[in-house]
């Protein structure tokens, strides 16, 4: 890790390919762990190729929401949730995002897990406490509420107001 001014930092991952062909990441406390970013990237690219570029945009919207709302989710978790719950409504990104978030809420309510689709196959939510689970579910519900309100708005100013509530100033106000 290289630390810069104002606590900014860049982590440089160290990987090695073992004798079985698996990529292993040097972990600060766990030693070498199986982790293959190329396999994960390939999985996501395949999903985008099957579903279209709208999936990539939905994933980016969720990451922008996470950054603004300070929701305690990792980027990889949002990528998995977006991909596994993607809804292409053919009515535009705001509807697709709303339906995707609704799917995420529904599926997490039934089975609160986020299964990594590549080695090591693991539930990334396994260590979440009840409080973390509640916080994340409430965050998704608040996001869904604002997306639903935006999509049913009568004026563009209402639409923008609801989207700025979840994306902040990054969302333009025409």
Contact present, 24 and 35 (Cβ < 8 Å): yes
User: pTM of this prediction?
Assistant: 0.89
Express each pLDDT in 66-112 by its tens digit.
999 989 999 999 999 999 999 998 889 999 999 999 999 999 999 99
Express each pLDDT in 110-167 by its tens digit.
999 999 999 889 999 999 999 999 999 999 999 999 999 999 999 999 999 999 999 9
Buried/exposed code over 57-84 (b: 16+ C-beta within 10 A; e: otherwise): ebbebbbebbebbebebeeebbbbbbbe
State both tokens at 95: 């509807």
């Amino acid at each position: 890790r290289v630390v810069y001014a104002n606590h900014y930092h860049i982590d440089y991952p160290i990987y090695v390919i073992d004798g079985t062909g698996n990529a292993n990441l040097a972990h600060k406390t766990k030693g070498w762990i199986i982790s293959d970013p190329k396999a994960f990237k390939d999985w996501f690219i395949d999903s985008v190729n099957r579903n279209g570029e709208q999936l990539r945009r939905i994933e980016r919207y969720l990451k922008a929401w996470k950054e603004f709302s300070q929701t305690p989710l990792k980027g990889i978790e949002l990528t998995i949730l977006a991909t596994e719950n993607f809804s292409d409504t053919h009515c535009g990104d705001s509807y697709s995002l709303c339906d995707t978030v609704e799917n995420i809420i529904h599926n997490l309510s039934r089975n609160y897990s986020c299964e990594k689709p590549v080695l090591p196959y693991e539930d990334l939510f396994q260590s979440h406490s009840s409080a973390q689970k509640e916080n994340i579910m409430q965050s998704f519900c608040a996001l869904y509420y604002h997306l639903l309100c935006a999509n049913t708005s009568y004026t563009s100013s209402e639409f923008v107001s609801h989207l700025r509530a979840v994306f902040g100033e990054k969302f333009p106000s025409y």
